Structure 1
Amino acid sequence: MRRTLSLGIAGALIASSLVVAGQPATAATGRLVSATALHTYATRADVDAALTADKFDPGTDRFGVRTYRLIYRTIDATGRQTTASGLVALPINNSKQLRTVSFGHGTEIYKGDAPSTSDDVFLIGPALTFASAGFAAVAPDYLGLGAGPGPHPWMDVPSETTAELDLLRAARVFVGGQGRQLTRDVYASGFSQGASAALGLARALQQGADPWFRAAAVAPISGAYDFRHAAIPSLFTPEVNPLLASAYTTYLLVAFDRLHDIYPDPGYVFQRPYVGLPKLFDGTHQGLEVLMALPATIDDLLTPRGKALLLHPTGRFADALAVLDSVCTDWAPRMPVRLYYSPGDEEAVNANTEHCHAALAGHGVAAPTINLGVDIDYNGFVHEGSEVLGVPQVTRWFTQLSS
């Protein structure tokens, strides 16, 4: 069983003044604060062993890998200066020019469950895979996770975008200090929460958010791209595991209220005895502890007003959901796009991928949906299995595009 709780989990059962995603960057954003060497996988065989321990296909591996934790300057969800952390994985080879893959991880609630602060292969496996294939891989922890201060603003695409972009900038400086260079091309991918983050990053790069980096392709995996019309309604159906529906509903309400003030007090949306749940989503509580505190079903969790707020959002909540869902609706990617999914996903239901595909098609964008099949052996959950299946396929596609 995995040790965390995430939309990608199934826990115990889950130097620029450009505007980025509506928030102003400053000369300080992306500045490297520190770099810490983490692990050396000296040979391809070492990478193979690490990946196969968590069922990742090592078929794209070519090189050993070194990993590092970077801490860097960025802005928080309100535009104030802060720091964040992220993982950088580099191939052990003689290449001086490295194309980059940015990979966004799935939902986590515990600060330590982030790529740069965890040894969980589910979190670091994507970076190892891309780096062993010859890419420089960067994996943001996002705000408030890893070594970053404060609570995590879950599913806030603008701050996910700035965290990813500023990690790219810090990584460019770090890699340059090793006598190597990140080329302009960035291949964006991510799983679950990170799928929306990947689209947000690709959109920002296409819009000129950085004078150096440009989006070469984007390949999100099993995203919840349409919260208002697919992800939220599915929480009230048998399509989503009921305990995980309870978990994701709580995280959504707590995170969005913290950032957007969408209800007057916890008792407005949560039934007794669950009005104290928000305190568990401060980043200091591990997944199993949170799962044990949750009701088994969403009906036991919510008041009638809480259910109405979710199913019929208005005001600030509706506006925030529109920003989240805009990753598929308000732009036309000019780079290759593929949407990866597994049928029968019990967390980010397939309607999300269908809606994103349709929205992009409405802008004249051909974004093929790629059926990954099902790996029911990954803790018995389709959703998590889609990362394990998807990352090697995305690696092969990015390698083809970059060769």
Structure 2
Amino acid sequence: MKSEQFMLRVFLCFFLLLSCCFKAHADNLVSFVRTSTMTVADANARMKKLMKGFAPAPATRPIDLYKVRYNSKDEKNANVVLSALVALPRGGAPKGLVIFNHGTTGDRAMSPSRWTTKMHIGEAQWGILNYATGGYAVAMPDYLGLGDHAGPHPYPLSDLNALSAIDLIAPARTIATKTGVAVPAKLYITGYSEGGAVAMWATKLLEARGVAITASAPVSGPYDLSNTTRKSIAAPPKTIIQFAAQLYLLAYTVRYFHQTRDVPLTDYFTPRMATFVKDLFDKGWSDETMIRSLLLHAYSLGANNNLDKITTPRFRKAMAEFDSSDPVIQELADSDCYDWSPKTKMLLVSLENDDVVDAVNTKVAMDAMRARGVTPTTLRQVVVSDSRLNHLTAPMRLLAITRKFFDGGFAGAGA
């Protein structure tokens, strides 16, 4: 009798273990832990400060923040564990789930999963304040190479980073279920800057898988890397902000290909600049410190707000002529995401005078999609014209428009 009871317990333990393993495989969830809670008062104070006259309705519920670890794939299709942040309004998220994709950062400390209510900067709070305060669950991937993942960040390859967003959907819903937060099936996709391109790719890939998306709102994304963005990087900068952006984004891009494809940095940068770029992103510095250091080093080499003194003639020629034999330029072309036909209701939001991601990216996407027969029933745009704003100061204004779109459709956003 005891032997039979022992065998029964062994069988039950094995069955439970097998069930748990299947569940983890089924929804990609590895683990989650609550890291902080944003009170109603805190949320409303932050909205008043950051969003001013265009803040949505005040928050009415506390918002619990969870650091998540989940399974995904890297650029070689190998299994990896990534990290993310999930924000859940207490008592339920009746409007659905928003996947919010953040912009470019080389600072792991700014990854969404590292964000808590003790912090007052970082893009994670953009997602929380714009969506979670209004009854949406919000999931924010860190991406490959950020957060807890030690590998390189595949910048600016948004098709790869989109997998980080897609694979987070099921874990986010599982966490909501486990914590008693009801979230309907409605799914929204958005993101800013690099995250805008990630949102565009995620929408395209999810549609290809037959996943229903309620609405998509990419914001100020570099959708046209091979032409508009390439020309923007190569063009003489008009301001120090534009030069800093060119330098930082080019360094980030080339270093990724150096790490993953053995592309020599000296094919792109002069020797002294290449040496500086090689270890820049391994120092644990903030984005601000990295950009300042890049600028100072470039100036010491005679750059004077121009890339010519610190990049190679070969690379400048390849950029000017769109030489697809160059692996970086070819990858830019492969990562374009504008010439397709979305079926999801999509609102493209941009800043007319954007000094980092040229608004022509959005125009190119609109024109290409219209040429493919995508009508205003499915696709529209909002272009914000405000000379007081730039790429760094515009996000909350632009994202507030996406919230209105998610709440009330094209009419709600004034599109």
- Shorter-chain TM-score bucket reads 0.7 to 0.9
Task: Answer yes or no: is the 8 Å Cα contact 1:33–1:71 preserved in 2.
Answer: yes
CA distance in 1, matches of 2:100, 2:80: 21
1:400 alignment partner in structure 2: 408
Task: Answer yes or no: is the 8 Å Cα contact 1:375–1:386 preserved in 2.
Answer: no
Alignment of 1:116 with 2:113, yes or no, is: yes
2:9 alignment partner in structure 1: none
1:369 alignment partner in structure 2: 381
CA distance in 2, matches of 1:154, 1:347: 15
CA distance in 2, matches of 1:112, 1:160: 18
- Give deviations 1:111-163, integer Å, cap 9, x for gaps: 11111213344412232120111111111111111122222111222321210
Task: Answer yes or no: is the 8 Å Cα contact 1:144–1:283 preserved in 2.
Answer: no
CA distance in 1, matches of 2:195, 2:224: 14
Alignment of 1:82 with 2:76, yes or no, is: no
Alignment of 1:321 with 2:322, yes or no, is: no
Other structure's SS at 1:163 match:
helix
Other structure's SS at 1:152 match:
coil
- Give deviations 1:232-273, integer Å, cap 9, x for gaps: 211223356112211111112222343445x4x212211132
2:170 alignment partner in structure 1: 169
* Structure 1 residue 86, shift from structure 2 partner: 0.9
CA distance in 2, matches of 1:242, 1:250: 12
Alignment of 1:269 with 2:265, yes or no, is: no
CA distance in 2, matches of 1:278, 1:392: 38
CA distance in 1, matches of 2:221, 2:126: 16
Relative to its length, the structure with more helix (as a share) is 2
2:38 alignment partner in structure 1: 41
* Cα separation, partners in 2 of 1:31 and 1:375, compared to 1, 3 Å: farther
Which residue, 392, 396, 409 being the options, matches 1:388? 396
CA distance in 1, matches of 2:36, 2:88: 11
Task: Answer yes or no: is the 8 Å Cα contact 1:374–1:386 preserved in 2.
Answer: no
CA distance in 2, matches of 1:297, 1:335: 41
**Partner AA of 2:395 in structure 1:** E
2:254 alignment partner in structure 1: 253
CA distance in 2, matches of 1:169, 1:313: 40
Task: Answer yes or no: is the 8 Å Cα contact 1:345–1:383 preserved in 2.
Answer: yes
Name whichever of 72-81 and 47-56 sits farther off: 47-56
- Give the TM-score, by structure 1 length: 0.84
Percent of residue pairs identical: 23
CA distance in 1, matches of 2:203, 2:185: 13
CA distance in 1, matches of 2:157, 2:335: 7
Alignment of 1:194 with 2:195, yes or no, is: yes
Task: Answer yes or no: is the 8 Å Cα contact 2:37–2:65 preserved in 1.
Answer: yes
Task: Answer yes or no: is the 8 Å Cα contact 1:29–1:166 preserved in 2.
Answer: no
Q: Which of 1 and 2 has greater Rg?
A: 2
2:313 alignment partner in structure 1: 304
CA distance in 2, matches of 1:368, 1:195: 15
Please list, as runs of the form range in 1=range in 2, the aligned pairs for 1:138-287 lying within 5 A after superposition: 138-208=139-209, 213-235=211-233, 236-238=235-237, 241-261=242-262, 263=263, 265-276=264-275, 277-282=277-282, 284-287=284-287
Task: Answer yes or no: is the 8 Å Cα contact 1:96–1:179 preserved in 2.
Answer: no
Alignment of 1:335 with 2:344, yes or no, is: yes
* Cα separation, partners in 2 of 1:283 and 1:218, compared to 1, 3 Å: farther
* Structure 1 residue 281, shift from structure 2 partner: 2.6
Task: Answer yes or no: is the 8 Å Cα contact 1:198–1:218 preserved in 2.
Answer: yes
CA distance in 2, matches of 1:216, 1:386: 25
CA distance in 1, matches of 2:26, 2:76: 14
Other structure's SS at 1:244 match:
helix
* Structure 1 residue 300, shift from structure 2 partner: 2.4
**Partner AA of 2:36 in structure 1:** H
* Structure 1 residue 181, shift from structure 2 partner: 4.1
Task: Answer yes or no: is the 8 Å Cα contact 1:103–1:189 preserved in 2.
Answer: yes
Name whichever of 56-65 and 106-115 sits farther off: 56-65
CA distance in 1, matches of 2:207, 2:102: 22
With a CA cutoff of 8 Å and minimum separation of 6, indicate the structure with the bigger relative contact order: 1
* Structure 1 residue 274, shift from structure 2 partner: 0.7
Alignment of 1:50 with 2:60, yes or no, is: no
CA distance in 2, matches of 1:226, 1:39: 38
Task: Answer yes or no: is the 8 Å Cα contact 2:353–2:385 preserved in 1.
Answer: no
Other structure's SS at 2:231 match:
helix
2:64 alignment partner in structure 1: 66
CA distance in 2, matches of 1:113, 1:288: 11
- Give deviations 1:147-192, integer Å, cap 9, x for gaps: 2222211122232121001111111111111233443321111000
Alignment of 1:357 with 2:366, yes or no, is: yes
Other structure's SS at 1:385 match:
coil
> Which sections of structure 2, spanning at least 5 residues, go unmatched?
1-23, 299-304
Task: Answer yes or no: is the 8 Å Cα contact 1:48–1:58 preserved in 2.
Answer: no
